[in-house]
Amino acid sequence: MAAGQEIFVAETGDGPPVLLLHGGGPGASGVSNYARNIGELAKEYRVIVPDMPGYGRSTKGIDVADPFGSVADSIRGLLDRLGLDKAHLVGNSLGGACALRIALDTPDRVDRMLLMGPGGIGASRALPTPGLNSLLNYYTGDGPSRLKLEKFIRNYLVFNAADVPDSVIDLRYQDSIAPEVVAAPPLRRPKSLRALWKMDFTRDARLPVPTLVLWGAADKVNRPSGGRMLADRMPDCDLYMVANTGHWVQFERADLFNRLCADFLAGRR
């Protein structure tokens, strides 16, 4: 239990603690999103991989009026439950927004932070991208289907559609149609300007936390221009634009990601 919720956690390795926070697409979960990274990072770190609230084997249902704040509170509660005063945070998409929110609210809990195409950057300054629309439309209209999920993953999530095995789509589809998830999808369109405002960290992201931002240059979910926004605002932020890569840097460019992540978190940059 963490912050009153059941949070499923996978853990391996020894060393400084690192939380890997997954994205918010339909059927996402911690271990599946970081399948190509956990083993390598565990050679040097204590790797902690939660299913965030609303996903995988964790409690379903989050505060849709403040989704980023809701998941951040839960992950901060997980740090408390694990007895960790501070940890490295690694976050992709929704996980990146969660990491940012934790760092904004409680910077003393974050050692170093690595973000891959995080949500919450420029959210109130432009219309949603086609990829984000595909994600948000998954549970609307005629409801979820394997075809809708495959289109989202192959057309919008990655640069090279052939890089994603059918087995990944099959597993995510089954997780995405769990009755409790269909009844309360974790990510939905903001229903008010106030809710949208809460989901945009661009104005507040002047953080002293050492940060590395990796952004796929061909990201169709969150605009790559968000990387420059963060680098311009954060005093200790490196930006690495990854060529021929979409929204899923840690999956599409696993070797590069694993090397950069391990070196950055250890201060070898």
Cβ atoms < 10 Å from Cβ of 254: 16
Helix (H, G, I), strand (E, B) or coil at 185: coil
Active site residue 247: yes
Contact status, residue 219 vs residue 158, Cβ threshold 8 Å: no
Query: Per 3-state DSSP, what percentage of the chain is helix, strand, and coil (rounded to 5)?
Result: 40, 15, 45
Q: Choosing from 181, 247, 261, 265, which is the catalytic residue? A: 247
Alpha carbons 79 and 68: distance in angstroms, whole number: 17
What residues have CB less than 8 Å from 125, skipping those under 6 apart?
200, 202
Catalytic positions: 247
